A and B are shown apart, each in its own frame.
Chain A
């Protein structure tokens, strides 16, 4: 028994050495993490900021002037273009010089003051309809605030008021969403590549045969490949976590122990997929493609690029097989919502099932191929 442990330990050390002794390899494990950590939190946002609003004003009254002023001072718009005719309006939207054009028709102010509904056209670029919808929300809010003020001044205060609170992220800052997700996403690549490609590399170089004739059993070889990948994953995740808390100042509400427990099972399920891929492949190129074939749907079906709630039902069912989906839920809810242990374990269970399934399958295929 002690012997078994010692042999596996030796293999783990050897694997870590191959991984870390090559300076190019070391750089590739750490540099992209740092670079992504620097870029993505700023880049990944569905917010609308720094945008351009254009106004075509054919009205000469005070209402449109006042509204124009307010639009140009809104946080979402740093640039303001005044247009003079409809041809200009067409060109502005077509060439994406502005995300939105607000069009005041000629008798806008008069109609507003006379109490009839004053039509205000808001033209948005459909090539960016999500931003368009968000900007339309902003405009709706500004216009409504203006009408409320006018009505209050005229002795007709608003009857009702909408009080909106955003829990866990009061300013709807995208960084609160992205950094916890990055803990899961960035870790995935290395953990998978390290397991899947290291077996394929040994195969290509012929050293896998040497491993097989050693007293190591396939299970021990697998543990030897799994542990270094889990260590790499945990180190990368820790770097991201530290930066999220101390550099980006995202409040960490939950329990670190739960987070790392989740991480253990998450990296285990990744290793399962990595070994499964490598058991099916004989070259590094194939293994790499296998990793990619997992990584791509893994990222897209994780709730990170777009919410799982918006997917069709059959696809939502499929996301249960995706370890990323479960781990992102775990990290986000521990990070932002101080999730209870019960809730976290409920999400760890599928990870355990995935790991058990992929690891068993991988060992079975290994044994068949060498048998």
Chain B
């Protein structure tokens, strides 16, 4: 390893970095990736990904139109999370649910008020949801339950029956009092953007040199392995950090996500994350040596796992054990945790230290792999 670094000539390295930077700046497509793509992506993420189902269309069928039943309906119309649309018959509701026009429906059966009056019998309310959208279905269930509980409480109060024991549940969302999913999804999406910029750009750079034959020309010069590697790393690192700062600025000033941590920790965490993804991209590029295949491999090895396995949307703790272990091997999952904490909670060392340590290890690992795969020979 010592030999590896001792072989570096700073003069040559500077020249190579300069060449690489010029190549980036002159290629309009690289400019697009580095400066325009992150902004566009962040806006799409910011507006497109929202798990808070706040205006769900829910159908309502009133088979019973007594005052009691209407009081219950009022509590549904009062919920600000559901948009209730009345319907004349069950057939119509079923049709609309199947076609995805409504996400659930509620039925107040004919004998509702009658059963409510008669002691010993229970007046049922039916709730049907569209299970093809499981997250929305859960929200429909929860909102319907909330409205139903509210109606029962109102009814008891109105009749002066406050004797039945109740538990008053008080939810408190720490760090994010209004429980807005955007506040953690946007920091999460920055990690995806960084993965893309890091892995996709670098996955092409070495392969391109091989394909175009410029690698041969490069190897004919006195350049060493370390110089080759660093010259591919440093310019893209710079590019990554600039895009990161652009993303954070947009997230905070345009999309209004609170940032409670320190810029210093943001830079530390991001540096090590970028080194590990750049390392992954370079590794794929160096071993595959073919842009067409390297690009597909990078898309499959970086973008999709980042989207699915990083814990950015789908919670890692809910996954089965083998997959949990697998996500623990992926740098992006640590970066997601670190960024979500930095944005929402601040510099919490209990979270930041272990996650940063892992990112350091991961970047060392991928860079070591790339260094080993980098050959100074043509075969």
How far is A122 from B341 in the complex, measured between Cα atoms in Å?
Answer: 20
Answer whether residue A368 sits at the interface, using C-beta atoms and an 8 A cutoff. no
Which residues of B sit under 8 angstroms from A143, Cβ to Cβ? 167, 169
Besides A51-B318, A117-B167, 5 new A-B residue pairs in contact (Cβ under 8 A), listed by A number: A165-B126, A168-B131, A172-B137, A307-B136, A309-B55
Most chain B Cβ neighbours within 10 Å, of A129, A166, A167, A297: A129
CB-CB nearest in chain B for A286: B29
Other-chain contact of B307, A52, A95, A119, A305 (Cβ < 8 Å): A305
24 contacts between A and B (CB under 8 A): A40-B308, A45-B318, A46-B313, A91-B350, A96-B351, A99-B317, A117-B168, A118-B167, A126-B184, A140-B142, A141-B145, A157-B120, A161-B124, A162-B127, A201-B292, A284-B295, A292-B200, A296-B41, A300-B49, A305-B307, A306-B48, A306-B51, A310-B53, A343-B98
How far is A99 from B315 in the complex, measured between Cα atoms in Å?
Answer: 11
CB-CB nearest in chain B for A100: B171
Which residues of B sit under 8 angstroms from A118, Cβ to Cβ? 165-168
Answer whether residue B10 sits at the interface, using C-beta atoms and an 8 A cutoff. no
CB neighbors of B among A84-98 (8 A): 91, 93-96
Q: Report whether B170 and A137 are in contact in the complex, using a CB–CB cutoff of 8 Å.
A: no
Q: Closest Cβ of chain B: how far from A332's Cβ, in Å?
A: 6
Q: Closest Cβ of chain B: how far from A157's Cβ, in Å?
A: 7
Which residues of B sit under 8 angstroms from A189, Cβ to Cβ? 296, 299-300
Q: Given A177-B134, A310-B53, does the pair A167, B99 have CB atoms closer than 8 Å?
A: no
Q: Report whether A160 and B123 are in contact in the complex, using a CB–CB cutoff of 8 Å.
A: yes
Q: Report whether A140 and B145 are in contact in the complex, using a CB–CB cutoff of 8 Å.
A: yes
Interface string of B53-70 (1 = CB under 8 A from A): 111110000000000000
Q: Report whether A311 and B50 are in contact in the complex, using a CB–CB cutoff of 8 Å.
A: yes
Answer whether residue B114 sits at the interface, using C-beta atoms and an 8 A cutoff. no
Other-chain contact of A177, B133, B149, B152 (Cβ < 8 Å): B133
Other-chain contact of A158, B55, B122, B204, B293 (Cβ < 8 Å): B122
How far is A221 from B341 in the complex, measured between Cα atoms in Å?
Answer: 52
Other-chain contact of B293, A25, A49, A307 (Cβ < 8 Å): A25
CB-CB nearest in chain A for B45: A300
Which residues of A sit under 8 angstroms from B169, Cβ to Cβ? 120, 122, 136, 139-140, 143
Give the bracket for the number of chain B residues in contact with chain A: 35 or more
CB-CB nearest in chain B for A29: B296
CB neighbors of A among B98-126 (8 A): 98-100, 103, 116, 120, 122-126
Q: Report whether A119 and B170 are in contact in the complex, using a CB–CB cutoff of 8 Å.
A: yes
Q: Closest Cβ of chain B: how far from A29's Cβ, in Å?
A: 8
Q: Report whether B53 and A307 are in contact in the complex, using a CB–CB cutoff of 8 Å.
A: yes
Q: Closest Cβ of chain B: how far from A21's Cβ, in Å?
A: 13
Answer whether residue B233 sits at the interface, using C-beta atoms and an 8 A cutoff. no
Other-chain contact of B136, A35, A288, A309, A337 (Cβ < 8 Å): A309
Q: Report whether A170 and B131 are in contact in the complex, using a CB–CB cutoff of 8 Å.
A: yes
CB-CB nearest in chain A for B33: A289
Q: Closest Cβ of chain B: how far from A334's Cβ, in Å?
A: 11
Interface string of A293-316 (1 = CB under 8 A from B): 101110111000111011110010
CB-CB nearest in chain B for A112: B165
Give the bracket for the number of chain A residues in contact with chain B: 35 or more
CB neighbors of B among A308-332 (8 A): 309-312, 315, 329, 332
Interface string of B157-179 (1 = CB under 8 A from A): 00000111111111111111101
Answer whether residue B326 sits at the interface, using C-beta atoms and an 8 A cutoff. yes
How far is A21 from B184 in the complex, measured between Cα atoms in Å?
Answer: 45
Interface string of B200-237 (1 = CB under 8 A from A): 10001000100100000000000000000000000000
Interface string of A247-272 (1 = CB under 8 A from B): 00000000000000000000000000
Interface string of B18-37 (1 = CB under 8 A from A): 00000000010100110001
8 A-B pairs with the lowest CB-CB distances in the bound complex, closest first = A126-B176, A169-B131, A166-B131, A126-B173, A95-B350, A129-B179, A32-B300, A117-B168
Stretch in contact with the other chain, from A5-13, A144-152, A223-231, A356-364: A144-152
Q: Report whether A127 and B304 are in contact in the complex, using a CB–CB cutoff of 8 Å.
A: no
**Which B residues contact A (CB, under 8 angstroms)?**
27, 29, 32-33, 37, 40-41, 44-45, 47-57, 97-100, 103, 116, 120, 122-139, 141-142, 144-146, 148-149, 152, 162-177, 179-181, 183-184, 196, 200, 204, 208, 211, 288, 290-293, 295-297, 299-300, 303-304, 307-309, 313-315, 317-320, 323, 326-327, 337, 340-341, 344-345, 348, 350-351
Answer whether residue A159 sits at the interface, using C-beta atoms and an 8 A cutoff. yes
Answer whether residue A113 sits at the interface, using C-beta atoms and an 8 A cutoff. yes
Which residues of B sit under 8 angstroms from A95, Cβ to Cβ? 348, 350-351
**Which A residues contact B (CB, under 8 angstroms)?**
24-25, 28, 32, 35-36, 39-40, 42-52, 91, 93-96, 99, 112-113, 115, 117-134, 136-137, 139-141, 143-144, 146-147, 150-151, 156-170, 172-174, 176-177, 189-190, 193, 197, 201, 204, 281, 283-286, 288-289, 292-293, 295-297, 299-301, 305-307, 309-312, 315, 329, 332-333, 336-337, 339, 343
Q: Report whether B319 and A45 are in contact in the complex, using a CB–CB cutoff of 8 Å.
A: yes
Q: Report whether A120 and B170 are in contact in the complex, using a CB–CB cutoff of 8 Å.
A: yes
CB-CB nearest in chain A for B179: A129
How far is A165 from B196 in the complex, measured between Cα atoms in Å?
Answer: 41
CB-CB nearest in chain B for A185: B304
How far is A121 from B129 in the complex, measured between Cα atoms in Å?
Answer: 29
Other-chain contact of A193, B37, B52, B295, B348 (Cβ < 8 Å): B295
Q: Report whether B138 and A172 are in contact in the complex, using a CB–CB cutoff of 8 Å.
A: yes
How far is A163 from B137 in the complex, measured between Cα atoms in Å?
Answer: 14
Which residues of A sit under 8 angstroms from B41, Cβ to Cβ? 296
CB-CB nearest in chain A for B343: A127
